[in-house]
Amino acid sequence: MSEAFERIPLEKQERIVNTAFVEFCEKGYEQASTNHIAKEAGIGKGTLFYYFNTKQSLFHYLIEKAFTIAQEEYLNKINFETKDFFERIKQTTELKWEVYERYPYALKFLAFAMMHAEETDLSDELSVKRKEAEAKWAGVLTQNIDFSKFREDIPKETAFNLIRWTVEGYRQELEARMKQLQFETMENQDLRPYYEEFYGYLETLKTIYYNE
Amino acid sequence: MSEAFERIPLEKQERIVNTAFVEFCEKGYEQASTNHIAKEAGIGKGTLFYYFNTKQSLFHYLIEKAFTIAQEEYLNKINFETKDFFERIKQTTELKWEVYERYPYALKFLAFAMMHAEETDLSDELSVKRKEAEAKWAGVLTQNIDFSKFREDIPKETAFNLIRWTVEGYRQELEARMKQLQFETMENQDLRPYYEEFYGYLETLKTIYYNE
DNA sequence: CAACTTATCGACCAGGGTGGTCAATTTGCT
DNA sequence: AGCAAATTGACCACCCTGGTCGATAAGTTG
């Protein structure tokens, strides 16, 4: 990436980055089209290659960017003093939503890039970052959590997994529902009912998986 | 589709159909390549167009085929006498596995085709079929189920959804795990440990969501 | 204003993939 | 042998690809 890209208005930067995130997520590296990214972001093709010299260097920039976003907008904001499991889930979910509002596909892109990390040869520096991030991600729902509140007739590990899967399954269904409603952007959408619904389910899960 | 396709050996038919299912699922209609399908299925490109005259007619044939598979290999085999919810889940999951062994991507393709049903203009006949199928699918986990066994402090509907999401979330994680292990085919893989693990979780869910 | 740098663009390139065709060949059957 | 059905891949016109580059436009400086 040339330094020119960092000189343009932040809003434009984010528009381009987000467009590129989407394109790479949905099509994969090979099938992703620089033409399409440029058009979708509302800039000329030449401009895109003026900012990033090649498709690959754009991709590498995106990886770094996604890492930074995940780190600064998500991981660093988690309050690890929250010992209650459900409170932690609620909190991390809210953080994810906040990230989503600004960079809708950043976290999905990061997951995608990590999954295909073997094909995409990362720099040594990035490989290190990856290891670090993986460790942190693993701790998001476990570090400093008070598991003693869980009911005792079920292994803590099992309960932990079941809850994770429930939340994830619910999230996926919500995503599908929204796609069907053609929520291309979530802008100006009132999401509060969805939040409320989610919190309701969390409360139910708490009565189920905690000691009474 | 010409009648020639139905004259060739069944094994070859299935190989072609399965290859096409995969290609369309993974790339979508536009991006799917007939070249690639032919090569992957081990037949000449000319042969593919000898069987199905156009890409579109191949696609329509696949929809019909997927419908038939879902109907005959899955829906029709469900035992609706089974009143226990978890027993029903176990049974339908097993059926899905069986279908998966023979037509690995058929059900995923069907879901994909239904989701993009608006873009893909279906024939009137198919639209009717779709409505019918949708009704049947909705009943798979509800029809003739004895919900009185569920604990009473949680709305039946909520419990029902939570369990569905748990199972679905678990399934997704399993799928991801398998992809990472490069299970390209499930052939010759010993899946019993996975079955057992799944049944174990089902038992736990039963203790959680049923009256004691 | 001129002079100069930086930003932006889209026509253009060679290369490769597309859905689809078809003459040539192989296969199977009587 | 002789015929019909099955199979093939070279070939077609077309479109899209990542990337280049000369022509502008915008901004900045004197």
pLDDT tens, position by position, B11-38: 999 999 999 999 999 999 999 999 999 9
Q: Which pLDDT score is estimated for B158?
A: 96
**Residue pLDDT, tens place only, B91-108:** 999 999 999 999 999 999
**Which pair of structure tokens corresponds to residue B112?**
């994909």
Alpha-carbon distance of B103 to B107, in angstroms, equals 8
Q: Is residue A85 scored above 70 in pLDDT?
A: yes
**Which pair of structure tokens corresponds to residue B55?**
């890409």
- The one-letter amino acid code at A118 reads E
Write phi, then psi, for B210 (nearest 5 degrees). -95, 160
**Below-50 pLDDT ranges, chain B:** none
β partners of residue A150: A210
Round and report the angstrom distance from CA (A186) to C1' (D15).
Answer: 34
Alpha-carbon distance of A65 to A106, in angstroms, equals 8
Check residues A126 and A139 and name the one with the higher pLDDT: A139
- Is strand D less than 7 A from the beta carbon of A90? no
Q: Which pLDDT score is estimated for A36?
A: 98
Nearest C-alpha neighbor of B59 from the set B130, B8, B115, B1: B1
Residue A126 neighbours by CB under 8 Å, 6+ apart: A63, A64, A67
Alpha-carbon distance of A198 to A179, in angstroms, equals 18
* % of chain A beyond a pLDDT of 70: 93
- Is strand D less than 7 A from the beta carbon of A36? yes
Alpha-carbon distance of A211 to A150, in angstroms, equals 6
Q: Which pLDDT score is estimated for A182?
A: 65
Average pLDDT over residues A146-171: 96
Cβ–Cβ below 8 Å for B165 and A162: no
Nearest CA in chain A to B152: A208
B28: left (phi over 0), alpha (psi -120 to 50) or beta: left
Any chain B CB within 8 A of the CB of A182? no
Nearest CA in chain A to B161: A170
The pLDDT-based confidence of A130 (bands split at 50, 70, 90) is confident
Q: Which pLDDT score is estimated for B117?
A: 76
Average pLDDT over residues A187-209: 88
- Is strand D less than 7 A from the beta carbon of B6? no
The pLDDT-based confidence of A183 (bands split at 50, 70, 90) is low
Buried b (16+ CB within 10 A) or exposed e, A160-195: bbbbbbbbbbbeeeeeeeeeeeeeeeeeeeeeeeee
Q: Return the C-alpha torsion angle B139, B64, B109, B1, nearest 10.
A: 180
Cβ–Cβ below 8 Å for A201 and B162: yes
- Is strand D less than 7 A from the beta carbon of B50? yes
Check residues A120 and A26 and name the one with the higher pLDDT: A26
Q: Is residue A53 scored above 90 in pLDDT?
A: yes
| Shortest Cα distance, chain B CAs vs residue A1, angstroms | 29
Contact residues on chain A for B170, CB-CB shorter than 8 A: 161, 165, 169
